Amino acid sequence: MKCFSCFTSPQTSKSNPNSPTKVSFLRQPPPDDDVPQPKAPEPEIPEISDACKDDNNNNIEAQIFSFRELAMATKNFRRECLLGEGGFGRVYKGKLEKTGQVVAVKQLDRNGIQGNREFLIEVLMLSFLHHPNLVNLIGYCADGDQRLLVYEYMPLGSLEDHLLDIRPHRKPLDWYTRMKIALGASKGLEYLHDKPKVPVIYRDLKSSNILLDEEFNARLSDFGLAKLGPVGDKTHVSSRIMGTYGYCAPEYQRTGRLTVKSDVYSFGVVLLELITGRRVIDTTRPGKEQNLVAWAVPLFKERRFPLLADPLLKGDYPCKGLHQAIAVAAMCLQEEANVRPQMSDVVTALSFLGTGPSSTEASSSNPSLEPESYNEER
C-alpha cells in the first residue's frame, strides 16, 4: 500500500512491473469549502475497539510474537519463502516453531510514512472482526522498530494471481469459480458494512487483497486503510484520499467523502475484472481500453455483453449468468453513489450465480437484477 498522489502517473511495483493495482495513493482532498479537511492522524484509533464489536462480541486476542520467533519461522526471511510484495512490505511464508502452524508473515517496510498507523488499525480491526470471508490475523510483532503481522496462510494466494497474473501452467478460473469468489468477497464486505456497531469501510478492495483458501473461498485481507463509517444522521466521513488507483469511487477521489458506497464501487470494479479477465488499469492495451471501467460502460449500454466476457473462458459461461453478473457490476459502478446497491443486495443477487446452471436460471425471476434495469437508471 504505497502512498501516492492519484494525479501522478501510477508507479509500478517491484514484483509486478505491469500491475497498476499495486499502486495506492494518498493525497489531501482538493480545496473545497464544503469538505472538512482532516488533519493527520485521523482521531479514530481509540474508537475502533468499541465500534467494531458485533452482536457476538467475539474479540479474539491477537498473539504477540518476538522478532526472533518470526525470523525463525521464515528461515530468516529467506528469499525462497517470499510470497509477494506490496506497497507496505514483503510477505513471507513461515512455520511457527511452537505449534507447527503455517502462516504468512508481512514485514512492514520500516521507512513507510503511514506504516505505524496502518499497523495499529489492522491489528485492532482484525482482533474484533471475524467472518469466514475475512482473513484471520494470528498475531503481530512490534519489537523495537520492527512491525510484522502474522496471518493465516492462504494456500492459493490472491485472486490477482489466478485472474490477472496467471502463470503459464495454471488453468484460467472457470465461470462458476469466478462467481463463487465474487460472492465470498461480497459477503465479507456485507459483514463489514452491516454487522459491527459502526459500519466499517474497507477502502482497499482489489484483486490482490482477495486471498483464496484451498476451495477458492474468498478472504478479504489488508485492513490498514479501513475506516469507521458515518454514524447518526451523518451521510459520510471525510478522509484523506487513500486507496488504489482505478478501484476508488469517483466521488471519494474528487471530494474525500467516504461512504460504504465507495466500497460498493470498488466491488463493481473487481466483479468487472472477474468477468473480463482485464486489469482495472492496463497500460499495455490500446488507449481506449486502458481504463477497464471507461471501456466497459459503453458496452453495458449497448448491451454487447459477450464482448465483455474473458476470452480465456472460451465461451464457457451461462449467457443469463453473464448478463446478470454484468448487471450487478453496472449497478455497483454507477457514478451516483446513492443509487448503487447495498452490499446485502449484491450478496442476494450473486448468490444465484455461483452455484451452477439451475440456480442461474432461477435468478431470472427477480426483475430488479435484469440488465435492463441498469439501462433504465443511467
Annotated catalytic residues are: 204
Site for ligand ATP in 143-182 (CB under 6 A): 151, 153-154, 157-158, 160-161
Which residue's C-beta sits nearest to ligand ATP? 86
Q: What cell does 247 get?
A: 478501484
- CB-CB contact of 34 with 269 (8 Å): no
Q: Segment near ligand ATP (CB under 6 A), from 37-45, 78-86, 331-339, 348-356?
A: 78-86
The reply on whether position 363 binds ligand ATP by CB under 6 A is: no
What amino acid occupies position 334? Answer: Q
Q: Are 52 and 198 in contact (CB under 8 A)?
A: yes
Let me know: does 322 contact 305? Beta carbons within 8 Å: yes
Q: Is the dihedral of CA 26, 192, 46, 231 positive or negative?
A: positive
> Closest distance between ligand ATP and the C-beta of residue 219, in Å?
8
Name residue 265's amino acid. Answer: Y
Asked if residue 87 binds Mg ion (CB under 5 A), the reply is no
Q: Using the rule CB under 6 A, is 281 a contact of ligand ATP?
A: no
- Least distance (Å) between residue 114 CB and Mg ion: 14
| Chain Cα centroid distance, residue 79 | 26
For residues 241 and 26, is the Cβ–Cβ distance under 8 A?
yes
Taking a C-beta distance cutoff of 8 angstroms, is the pair 130, 60 a contact? yes
Q: Minimal distance in Å, beta carbon 279 to Mg ion?
A: 15
185-244: contacts with ligand ATP (CB under 6 A):
208-209, 211, 221-222
Does 106 appear as a known binding residue? yes
Query: For every residue of 62-116, which 3-state class applies, written as one string?
Result: CEECCHHHHHHHCCCCCHHHEEEEECCEEEEEEECCCCCCEEEEEEECCCCCCHH
Number of chain residues interacting with Mg ion (CB under 5 A): 3
Q: Residue 86 or 139: which CB sits closer to Mg ion?
A: 86
Nearest distance, CB of residue 106 and Mg ion, angstroms? 8
Give 354's DSSP letter.
S
Contacts with Mg ion, residue ranges (CB under 5 A) = 86, 209, 222
Return binding residues: 106
Q: Which residues are annotated as a binding site for ATP?
A: 106
List residues binding ligand ATP (CB under 6 A). Answer: 1, 22, 24, 83-88, 91, 104, 106, 135, 151, 153-154, 157-158, 160-161, 208-209, 211, 221-222
